[in-house]
Amino acid sequence: MSNGSERIAVIVGGASGIGWATAQALAADGCRVTIADLNGEGARERAAELGGPHAAAQVDVTDEPSVQRVFDGLGPLDIAVNCAGFSNLGLITDMPVDDFRAVIDVCLTGAFIVAKHAGRTLRDGGSLVQVSSLNGRQPAAGMSAYCAAKAGLSMLTQVAALEMGPRGIRVNAVAPGFVHTPLTAAAASVPGVVEDYIDNTVLGRAGTPADIANAVVYLCSPGSSWLTGEVLDINGGAHLKRYPDLMGHVMKLVEQS
């Protein structure tokens, strides 16, 4: 329970990348953090790095009972952040339906399940933040599932803001551009991909997990108390240019191998 000053937060997908940076940033901001992740051992290791009174939980966002157990076990919350997600690559005409569904299940249906149980557990005046993507607004060949899921997440965020607003719960999303994380490591290993991203980013650099975490902390703070239903682009201006030709770089690598 909150002691009146300490806020209680859960970070879903908090064991690595943006989620881990967010857990660290919220802990530094005075929150008591629970790191929930599919990788339960990783979550426990990260919680141990933060030290007491921070905690860990194992969760699968595609399994509603798993999500419900985590939220029910935490009790009243002030902050919920959902960073769970993954992507795959393949042309629509080649992609097995199960591969498409797998991304939708985590990135969109999973986000709905987290929002459902966060909305039931957050105190009045709490904050829910979902991690979306530049791909929610910019299409990328070979990324149909991820683009569709993140575009859907933008609208889900707005609907949740409408529904939870009467209780003072603010629902927002952050939409990162290219950030070096375990999620983007495979794409970054393809020659030319990172350079193409940076060439199409106005500020001329990739993002860091801390760039995104700092924005999440703001969205969960009293300083953003009149902001809800927002999808905040944090991409160095990449939304002003074109999306990199990821599929083209991959095909070139395949041809050379």
146 catalytic per annotation: yes
By the 8 A CB rule, do 176 and 235 touch? yes
- Among 146, 197, 218, 243, the active-site one is 146
Distance CA 156, CA 194 (A): 30
Which of 151-178 are b and which e, b meaning 16 or more Cβ less than 10 Å from the residue's Cβ? bbbbebbbebbeebeeeebbbbbbbbbb
Query: In the β-sheet with 31-37, what is the strand arrangement from edge to edge?
Result: 55-58, 31-37, 7-12, 77-82, 122-131, 170-176, 231-234
Q: Which residues pair with 145 in a beta bridge?
A: none
3-state secondary structure 79-101: EEEECCCCCCCECCCCCCHHHHH
Catalytic positions, written as ranges: 146
